[in-house]
A and B are shown apart, each in its own frame.
Chain A
C-alpha cells in the first residue's frame, strides 16, 4: 500500500539514521571513559528527545529506541512481566516518548529518569490495573531553549546516582532494586537508601523557588 511504502521510506531515510547509530555505538564505548565524557553522553539523549519534539526526527527516535527499549524491557521483566508482555509494553513506552516529547523538560530530569516514569506508569496499568493520581502540574517548562548548564546538571545527577548505586553494598542495592521492581510491599521499603539524593533535591527545590518567585 502506498501508505506503508511512504512510511518505509521515512523510516529508512538515509540522511541520519546511520549517523545516529554510529554515535550510539561510540557512546557506549565512551561511557567506560572519564566521568566528564559520560556527562557529555547523557546530554546527547536529551538532545535526541528535543529533536523528536521539534522536528519529529525519526532517526533520533530510532537511536533512543535502540538504547532505551531493551532497558525498559528488562525492567518490566524483572517486575514480573513475561517476555511477550514486556516487549509489548516497551513498545508502548517508546511510542509514548514520541507522543509526549513536548512534556520532557531536560533541565529537570534526565531522559533515563523520564523514561523510567513512563515505564513505571505503563507497568501500573499492565500489571496492577490501578489508577495512579499524579501531582498537579506546575506552570513551568519545558522551555523552548533550556538552560544548558541546568540540562547538564540534571544529566549529571543521574550519572552520579548510577555510580553511587554501583558502589552500595550488595545487600543494600538489592533492597532498592526490589523496591523498584515491586518485590517489596510499601511497608517494607526502607527509609535509608544510602544514596546522595540531597543534591538532586536541592537542585529541584531551587528551581521551584525561582518559579514561585516568577509567579508571584
Chain B
C-alpha cells in the first residue's frame, strides 16, 4: 500500500498526549496500523512525553507507597503471552474491534443512491462512522463545522484537492467545501470521524441530518 496522504503532526502529537476524542483516536490508530511512516512519527512524539516525564518535577509518594505496591504485585501474575487484536480483512485491528469482526459484521443503513453508513459506538465529543460509497457515486456535498478525518480502507475517492486511495487520510476543516466522488470500480469504504455534525448543502440531506445522526 503506497500511502500519500498522512496524519498531521498536531494530530499525532495530540494522540500521543492522549488528548483526542475517542472517534479521532480510532481513526489515528487505524491509519497508524496501515502506515509505518506515521507509526514512526508517533513514536517520536511519545518520546517527547518520555523526555518530559524524565525531566519532570517529582511529587513525593507517601512513605508506605512502595511497600503497598510491593504487596500488590505479589498478588499479580505477569502476563507472558500477548493476545494482540487481529486485523479482519480490510479492517485493521482497532477498527475490527469496534465493528466486532470483519466488514461483513457492519450494520449498514442506507442513505440513498447506494450510499450507506454505519455509526460506530464512541464517546459523544466526536463521532465515527463507516461509509460505503459505490463507484462513481458522490458523497453529498458538505461543509464542516470542525475537523473531519476520512480514511480510505478500500477503493478510492477524488475531490477538488486530490485522489485518496487505501490508507490515505483526508483532513478537512470548516474552510473546506469539497465533493468527494468514489472512483469507478471497486466500492469505496471509508472510516470518517468528525467533531461536529456535518452540514449538507443540499436541502434534503440537511433535513434528514438529525435523524441520521451525522
B19 to A189, Cβ gap below 8 A?
yes
CA distance A179 to B48 in the complex (A): 11
- Residues from chain B with a CB closer than 8 A to the CB of A91 are 65, 68-69, 72
Residues 2 to 59 of chain B near chain A (Cβ within 8 Å): 8-11, 13-14, 16-22, 24-26, 29-30, 32-33, 36-37, 39-59
- Residues from chain B with a CB closer than 8 A to the CB of A99 are 73, 76-79
Partner of B48, one of A62, A131, A132, A176: A176
A70 to B70, Cβ gap below 8 A?
no
CA distance A116 to B71 in the complex (A): 23
A114 to B70, Cβ gap below 8 A?
no
Which chain B residue shows the least CB distance to A202?
Answer: B40
Which chain B residue shows the least CB distance to A77?
Answer: B59
B29 to A135, Cβ gap below 8 A?
yes
B-side binding surface: helix, strand, loop or mixed? helix
CA distance A132 to B85 in the complex (A): 14
Is there a chain A Cβ closer than 8 Å to B123's Cβ?
A: yes
CA distance A51 to B49 in the complex (A): 24
CA distance A116 to B95 in the complex (A): 24
- Residues from chain A with a CB closer than 8 A to the CB of B25 are 130-133
B53 to A136, Cβ gap below 8 A?
no
A-contact 0/1 string along B73-117, CB 8 Å cutoff = 110111110101101000011110110000000000000000000
Is there a chain A Cβ closer than 8 Å to B161's Cβ?
A: no
Is there a chain B Cβ closer than 8 Å to A119's Cβ?
A: yes
CA distance A135 to B42 in the complex (A): 10
Interface size class for chain B?
Answer: 35 or more
Is there a chain B Cβ closer than 8 Å to A34's Cβ?
A: no
What is the distance, in angstroms, from B212's C-beta to the closest C-beta of chain A?
A: 24
B49 to A180, Cβ gap below 8 A?
yes
Is there a chain A Cβ closer than 8 Å to B66's Cβ?
A: yes
A113 to B55, Cβ gap below 8 A?
no
- Residues from chain A with a CB closer than 8 A to the CB of B74 are 7, 10
- Residues from chain B with a CB closer than 8 A to the CB of A190 are 10
CA distance A202 to B84 in the complex (A): 26
Partner of A74, one of B11, B22, B58: B58
A116 to B53, Cβ gap below 8 A?
yes
Is there a chain B Cβ closer than 8 Å to A165's Cβ?
A: yes
Residues 189 to 204 of chain A near chain B (Cβ within 8 Å): 189-193, 195, 197-198, 200-202, 204
CA distance A40 to B56 in the complex (A): 20
A116 to B49, Cβ gap below 8 A?
yes
B9 to A130, Cβ gap below 8 A?
no
Asked, given contacts A77-B59, A114-B50, A123-B18, whether A197 binds B41 with beta carbons under 8 Å apart, the answer is: yes
Partner of A133, one of B51, B66, B73, B97: B97
Please give the residue numbers on chain B whose beta carbons come within 8 Å of chain A beta carbons, in ascending order: 8-11, 13-14, 16-22, 24-26, 29-30, 32-33, 36-37, 39-62, 65-74, 76-80, 82, 84-85, 87, 92-95, 97-98, 122-123, 147
7 contacts between A and B (CB under 8 A): A70-B60, A71-B54, A87-B62, A110-B47, A133-B25, A179-B19, A193-B48
